[in-house]
Structure formats: structure tokens, C-alpha cells
């Protein structure tokens, strides 16, 4: 079971830590990677990264969501986000858009977190 942890935040928004598998790609560039964790509020996200990203990069992030719509279908949260802070192994971004997409059981079960 995935458990969300509420984090104290200096800002006015609550932030939650989700130990979810994720992938990302820099829009308009040939850069992509994977991470394993997201701290997220309604407006910002912080992720672990497999490579250093640059401030100003526009990302598309895909997070495997732990809930299932039914036993055969699971959702993936897809975010568009602008990198506002970055250092090796970690980046913070402002969320500019989001949507849920569905993944069927065959796709979901055949991939590890590094492959989606």
C-alpha cells in the first residue's frame, strides 16, 4: 500500500510525499529520465532525477498512480511543469497542467517502474 506523508511547508500550501515511480522528458529536447519519489502540492512538485535538469526546462512528468479504477485498469498522472530549481539528483518545478490517463493491466504488469 502506498502511503502519502504530509510534509511541513514554509509556504501556505500543504505538500505531500508520494513514493511513486515516475518518468520525465524535457519538452522540445531529447532528454528524458526516471525518478522514484515526488513531493507535491497543488502547485509545485519536487522529484528525484536521473540527470540534472536546467531551470526553465518544460517537463512532461508521468507518475504511476497507486489507485486502480478496477482490477484491470490503473491511472497514470501526467503533469506539465516548469523547472524552477535544480541540483544533481533533484529538481523542483511549478505545475502548469495535469491530466489522468489510463493504463490497462497488461501494460501495467509488464513493466517495472524504470520502464514506463
In the chain, the number of structural domains is: 1
Q: What is the pLDDT of residues 81-110, one digit of tens each?
A: 999 999 999 999 999 999 988 875 554 454
Strand 22-26: give its sheet, edge to edge: 5-7, 15-18, 38-40, 44-48, 90-104, 73-87, 58-64, 22-26, 31-35
> Does residue 87 belong to any structural domain of this protein?
yes
> Does residue 115 belong to any structural domain of this protein?
no
Domain that holds residue 70: 5-109
CA dihedral 40, 45, 51, 53 (to 10 degrees): -170
Question: Exposed (0-12), middle (13-18) or buried (19+): which is 59, by Cβ within 10 Å?
Answer: buried
Q: How far is CA 34 from CA 11, 41, 45, in A?
A: 27, 20, 15
Tally the C-alpha atoms within 13 A of residue 31's C-alpha that lie toward its C-beta: 13
pTM of the model: 0.74
> Does residue 75 belong to any structural domain of this protein?
yes
Q: What is the pLDDT of residues 15-70, one digit of tens each?
A: 778 778 888 999 988 888 988 777 888 899 999 988 889 999 999 999 887 777 77
> Does residue 114 belong to any structural domain of this protein?
no
> Does residue 69 belong to any structural domain of this protein?
yes
Which residues contact residue 95 at a Cβ distance below 8 angstroms, ignoring those fewer than 6 apart? 40, 42, 43, 44, 45, 79, 80, 81
CATH number of the domain that 21 lies in?
A: 2.40.10.220
> Does residue 98 belong to any structural domain of this protein?
yes
Residue pair 92/72 in contact (Cβ under 8 Å)? The answer is no
> Does residue 54 belong to any structural domain of this protein?
yes
> Does residue 60 belong to any structural domain of this protein?
yes
Amino acid at each position: 500500500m502506498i502511503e502519502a506523508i504530509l510534509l511541513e511547508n514554509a509556504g501556505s500550501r500543504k505538500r505531500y510525499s508520494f513514493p511513486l515511480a515516475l518518468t520525465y522528458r524535457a519538452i522540445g529536447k531529447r532528454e528524458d529520465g526516471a525518478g522514484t519519489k515526488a513531493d507535491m502540492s497543488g502547485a509545485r512538485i519536487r522529484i528525484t532525477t536521473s540527470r540534472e535538469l536546467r531551470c526553465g526546462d518544460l517537463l512532461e512528468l508521468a507518475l504511476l498512480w497507486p489507485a486502480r479504477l478496477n482490477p484491470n485498469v490503473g491511472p497514470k498522472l501526467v503533469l506539465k511543469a516548469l523547472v524552477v530549481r535544480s541540483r544533481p539528483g533533484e529538481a523542483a518545478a511549478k505545475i502548469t497542467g495535469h491530466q489522468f490517463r489510463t493504463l490497462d493491466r497488461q501494460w501495467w504488469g509488464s513493466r517495472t517502474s524504470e520502464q514506463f
